[in-house]
Chains A and B, each alone.
Chain A
Amino acid sequence: MRADIKIKVCMGPSGIATGGADVIEAFKNEINSIGKKAIIEERCSLHQVGCLGFCAKDVLVEVVVDGKKTIYEYVKPGMVSRIVKEHILEGNPVTEWIAGEEYYNFHKKQIKVVLSNCGEIDPEDINAYLAVGGYEAARMALTLMSPEEIVEVVKSSNLRGRGGAGFPTGLKWDLSLKIKSDVKYVICNGDEGDPGAFMDRSVMEGDPHSVIEGMIICAKAIGSHQGYIYVRAEYPLAVKRLQIAINQCYEAGLLGENILGTGFDFDLKIYQGAGAFVCGEATALMRSIEGKRGMPTPKLWRSAEKGLWEKPTVLNNVETFANIPRIILKGADWYSSLGTERSGGTKVFALTGKMKNAGLIEVPLGITLREIIYDIGGGIENGRAFKAVQTGGPSGGCIPAELLDIEVDYESLALVGSIMGSGGMVVLDETDCMVDIAKFFLEFTQAESCGKCIPCRVGTKRMLEILNRITVGNAKEGDIELLEELGQDIKVTSLCGLGLTAPNPVLSTIRYFRNEYEAHIKDKKCPAAVCKDLITFSILEEFCNGCGACKRACPADAIIGKRKKIHKIDPEPCIKCGTCFDVCKFNAIMKM
């Protein structure tokens, strides 16, 4: 038999952004060009796949010859003809373009459950999903299992909600199952509000069928016949691929009336969000689907009883649903054994910031932060020193170097003042100012506060004002204590999760980096040289060779000096934009 060849091109978010479509086009043209077409066509197939994970090296292309995988990194259309000629036609991989050791280290400690199909199968092809056992779990759930049995499996898998709060999924379903009602809803939360995270996006775009299958199983478990997937407005490709997947399901009899001939009905619709962070909160999301302003409602009733249109509703995160088919197929014991005693399974993280190897990763719960950052992520870029890792986005906190050996699970992250969150993990280095980071998140939550409750609406504004005056050098003695007091009050009196967690970035940075706050307040200095009003730029004479690059780049004409002579910065017109610092190749610009 002749060799079977598969070419897979990453068309995840960053694969597309770096020109994945052009690479696919180039492969198509190359294969179709006379002569080659006849030789390869019927044994070679070309696939677009979801995120392959190692986004820092996109476009990634995987060439599989008789099951033997080769990964090429940084692929450009111009490289395609050599790959086709040497690797595919002649059988000799182009060694200098193959992903190196880093790629394998990046994957060594990962366990892919939710992401097992991402980067493997074509997300727009239901047959590709069926070929890897897709909808087998739904078939089992619909034909062989009672609702109670499904709930029992999910319960004992120890799966906890991946949207942030970590509520046990089985328990949530159980509550809903026990409520009697003709109409119940299943909602998938694909709002992904954390600014700096793309886990759910990658799952929706890379393996949309797994989310739909999870929802069908949930519908059967609680007795619901209508589901919604709420997708963030900024994710048009996720909407497109989910819609394709839903259409394919209707055609294949996996959605609609009498699914798989079992007599069970379930309809599924996509609802596009309109861009408001608070709409990721469960009750606000339901108001938004109802067409109203997305304001949270106090949880006098659990959504299990009164959710969407006041009907019993189960709402889960994208990743939570994507876990379900795997749990049903492989069993609760297998899943729970992957994690820790308190939280089963794996978690997807978007590892970003000052990382050498940024990307999308999936790790077993209980792994340490150090393993994630150094073994998988390859450490800090540009040889700088690690300072902190931010988890949980605007609701989370910053974890300093001395705590890198804690195990990642819901409880231990909460214990150190952060949260697990939905999976954003932003790594900060010595050049990041912790007060600036706290201010960044508070600006975000303050702007996104829906305004319904006073502690959140007014409290976050007051906190932001204090942070602003700290970063411009106008702070007063006692401002740190005031921030702490306000933060504690907001944390206990706000209406919804947005306000209840908004002070976390501030409180956690005060807890671990108090001296940085003090330097801003007492010495009017920003130790990391970030806060504009507290730093000055100057030129180090011994390094300046008068090349003039800074002078040409300066937008404020603040740099003086003749060619080949030492240059100077005039502090008066200088707007502290940092352009000179970026363009100087001789490290002659100093900011302090």
Chain B
Amino acid sequence: MEEVLEKILTTYRKEEGNIISILQYLEETFGYIPENAVNWFSKKLVIPASRFYGIATFYAQFHIKPPGKNIIIVCSGTACHVKGSDRLISGLKREFNLPEGEDTTADRKFTIERVACVGTCGMSPVALINKQVYGKMTANKLIKEIKILKGKKTGR
């Protein structure tokens, strides 16, 4: 890990970057913002870790917890909302037996996320399974796709 962080630090210094770009590199590399990485940068740059977290929690792009292996994104933009995106979410939560406030399954295989508009409102409601876009979704269709994934041993 140290090696990767060094590389990020070098790019950061070369590009005269800012904290957001460090966090973006971390997110890209690890899929989330690992605490020990933040502490490492905090020491190297003499910037308190709270500054990193202040920024990381401000922006939706950054994850503080490691996400599941498969990421299911349900669009919750206006067009998708009026076409029933809430039902997709509650259907998924039932399928995964997720308790209130939790978005990743206990076996860390699936994470459910919501975003505001993925830009394909013409085919709402929209869901993305590992970045592949599915339009005109229903809870049952979505669960069918997920069952296929569960059967396969696929990663991201």
- Chain B binds chain A: yes
**B17 smallest CB distance to A (angstroms):** 7
Query: Nearest B residue to A444 by beta-carbon distance?
Result: B116
Question: Any chain A CB within 8 A of the CB of B41?
Answer: no
Which of B85-105 touch A at CB < 8 Å?
87, 90-91, 94
Which of B64-88 touch A at CB < 8 Å?
76-84, 87
* 0/1 interface trace, chain A 339-353, chain B, CB 8 Å (1 if under): 000000000001011
The answer to whether A291 touches B18, judged by C-beta atoms less than 8 angstroms apart, is: yes
Question: Any chain B CB within 8 A of the CB of A56?
Answer: yes
Question: Any chain B CB within 8 A of the CB of A404?
Answer: no
How many Å lie between the Cα of A201 and that of B116 in the bound state?
A: 14
Question: Any chain B CB within 8 A of the CB of A141?
Answer: no
Query: Nearest A residue to B94 by beta-carbon distance?
Result: A555
Query: Nearest B residue to A532 by beta-carbon distance?
Result: B86
Enumerate chain B residues within 8 angstroms of A55, measured Cβ to Cβ. Answer: 120-123
How many Å lie between the Cα of A511 and that of B139 in the bound state?
A: 34
The answer to whether B116 touches A582, judged by C-beta atoms less than 8 angstroms apart, is: no
The answer to whether B116 touches A277, judged by C-beta atoms less than 8 angstroms apart, is: yes
- Given A196-B77, A426-B82, check contact A274 B135 (CB 8 Å): no
How many Å lie between the Cα of A17 and that of B117 in the bound state?
A: 14
Which of A181-230 touch B at CB < 8 Å?
193-198, 201-202
Residue from A14, A354, A437 having most chain B Cβ neighbours under 10 A: A14
Other-chain contact of A352, B23, B121, B134, B135 (Cβ < 8 Å): B121
The answer to whether A56 touches B116, judged by C-beta atoms less than 8 angstroms apart, is: no
Which of B118-137 touch A at CB < 8 Å?
118-124, 126, 133-135
The answer to whether A56 touches B21, judged by C-beta atoms less than 8 angstroms apart, is: no
The answer to whether A428 touches B82, judged by C-beta atoms less than 8 angstroms apart, is: yes
The answer to whether A17 touches B120, judged by C-beta atoms less than 8 angstroms apart, is: yes
The answer to whether B119 touches A352, judged by C-beta atoms less than 8 angstroms apart, is: no
Which of B127-156 touch A at CB < 8 Å?
133-135, 138-140
The answer to whether B140 touches A579, judged by C-beta atoms less than 8 angstroms apart, is: yes
Other-chain contact of A58, B17, B78, B87, B122 (Cβ < 8 Å): B122
The answer to whether A390 touches B78, judged by C-beta atoms less than 8 angstroms apart, is: yes
Enumerate chain A residues within 8 angstroms of B91, measured Cβ to Cβ. Answer: 555, 577, 579
How many Å lie between the Cα of A186 and that of B121 in the bound state?
A: 30
The answer to whether A195 touches B76, judged by C-beta atoms less than 8 angstroms apart, is: yes
Interface size on B, residues (CB 8 A): 44
Question: Any chain A CB within 8 A of the CB of B115?
Answer: yes
**B15 smallest CB distance to A (angstroms):** 10
The answer to whether A198 touches B117, judged by C-beta atoms less than 8 angstroms apart, is: yes
The answer to whether A195 touches B78, judged by C-beta atoms less than 8 angstroms apart, is: yes
The answer to whether A16 touches B58, judged by C-beta atoms less than 8 angstroms apart, is: no
How many Å lie between the Cα of A428 and that of B124 in the bound state?
A: 13
Which of A381-401 touch B at CB < 8 Å?
390, 393
The answer to whether A276 touches B54, judged by C-beta atoms less than 8 angstroms apart, is: no
- Given A288-B20, A353-B82, check contact A198 B120 (CB 8 Å): yes
The answer to whether B140 touches A358, judged by C-beta atoms less than 8 angstroms apart, is: no
Which of A438-460 touch B at CB < 8 Å?
440-441, 444, 450
Enumerate chain A residues within 8 angstroms of B59, measured Cβ to Cβ. Answer: 233, 273-276, 294
Other-chain contact of A274, B20, B78, B121 (Cβ < 8 Å): B20
**A354 smallest CB distance to B (angstroms):** 7
- Given A196-B78, A233-B61, check contact A56 B123 (CB 8 Å): yes
Other-chain contact of A582, B78, B115, B138 (Cβ < 8 Å): B138
Other-chain contact of A294, B58, B84, B119, B120 (Cβ < 8 Å): B58
Question: Any chain A CB within 8 A of the CB of B55?
Answer: yes
Other-chain contact of B77, A16, A195, A291 (Cβ < 8 Å): A195
How many Å lie between the Cα of A58 and that of B117 in the bound state?
A: 18
Question: Any chain B CB within 8 A of the CB of A424?
Answer: yes
- Given A14-B122, A58-B122, check contact A197 B21 (CB 8 Å): no
Residue from B79, B94, B120 having most chain A Cβ neighbours under 10 A: B79
Enumerate chain A residues within 8 angstroms of B78, measured Cβ to Cβ. Answer: 194-196, 352-353, 390, 393, 424, 426, 440-441
Other-chain contact of B82, A290, A354, A553 (Cβ < 8 Å): A354
Enumerate chain A residues within 8 angstroms of B17, measured Cβ to Cβ. Answer: 291
**A84 smallest CB distance to B (angstroms):** 27
Question: Any chain B CB within 8 A of the CB of A359?
Answer: yes
How many Å lie between the Cα of A275 and that of B23 in the bound state?
A: 13
The answer to whether B24 touches A196, judged by C-beta atoms less than 8 angstroms apart, is: no
Enumerate chain A residues within 8 angstroms of B124, measured Cβ to Cβ. Answer: 352, 358
Enumerate chain A residues within 8 angstroms of B55, measured Cβ to Cβ. Answer: 291-293
Query: Nearest A residue to B17 by beta-carbon distance?
Result: A291
How many Å lie between the Cα of A524 and that of B56 in the bound state?
A: 42
**A226 smallest CB distance to B (angstroms):** 13
Query: Nearest A residue to B116 by beta-carbon distance?
Result: A195
Residue from B19, B20, B78 having most chain A Cβ neighbours under 10 A: B78
Query: Nearest A residue to B95 by beta-carbon distance?
Result: A555
Query: Nearest B residue to A556 by beta-carbon distance?
Result: B94
How many Å lie between the Cα of A424 and that of B124 in the bound state?
A: 14
The answer to whether B79 touches A352, judged by C-beta atoms less than 8 angstroms apart, is: yes
Enumerate chain B residues within 8 angstroms of A432, measured Cβ to Cβ. Answer: 82
Query: Nearest B residue to A441 by beta-carbon distance?
Result: B78
Question: Any chain B CB within 8 A of the CB of A48?
Answer: no
Question: Any chain B CB within 8 A of the CB of A320?
Answer: no
Question: Any chain B CB within 8 A of the CB of A235?
Answer: yes
Residue from B60, B90, B117, B138 having most chain A Cβ neighbours under 10 A: B117
Query: Nearest A residue to B115 by beta-carbon distance?
Result: A234
Question: Any chain B CB within 8 A of the CB of A170?
Answer: no
**A418 smallest CB distance to B (angstroms):** 14
Enumerate chain A residues within 8 angstroms of B54, measured Cβ to Cβ. Answer: 293
Measured CB to CB, the residues of A under 8 A from B are 13-14, 16-18, 55-56, 58, 193-198, 201-202, 233-235, 272-277, 288, 290-294, 350, 352-354, 358-360, 390, 393, 424, 426, 428, 432, 437, 440-441, 444, 450, 553, 555, 577-579, 582-583
Closest 5 CB pairs of A and B: A291-B18, A55-B122, A196-B78, A195-B116, A275-B60
Q: List 23 A-B contacts (CB under 8 A).
A: A13-B118, A14-B123, A14-B135, A17-B133, A55-B121, A58-B122, A196-B79, A197-B117, A198-B120, A234-B117, A234-B118, A235-B119, A274-B59, A274-B60, A274-B62, A276-B58, A291-B17, A291-B18, A292-B19, A440-B81, A555-B94, A577-B87, A579-B87
Supply 13 further A-B pairs (C-beta < 8 A) apart from A198-B117, A291-B55: A17-B134, A193-B116, A196-B81, A201-B119, A274-B23, A274-B24, A358-B79, A390-B78, A437-B82, A444-B116, A450-B58, A577-B87, A577-B94
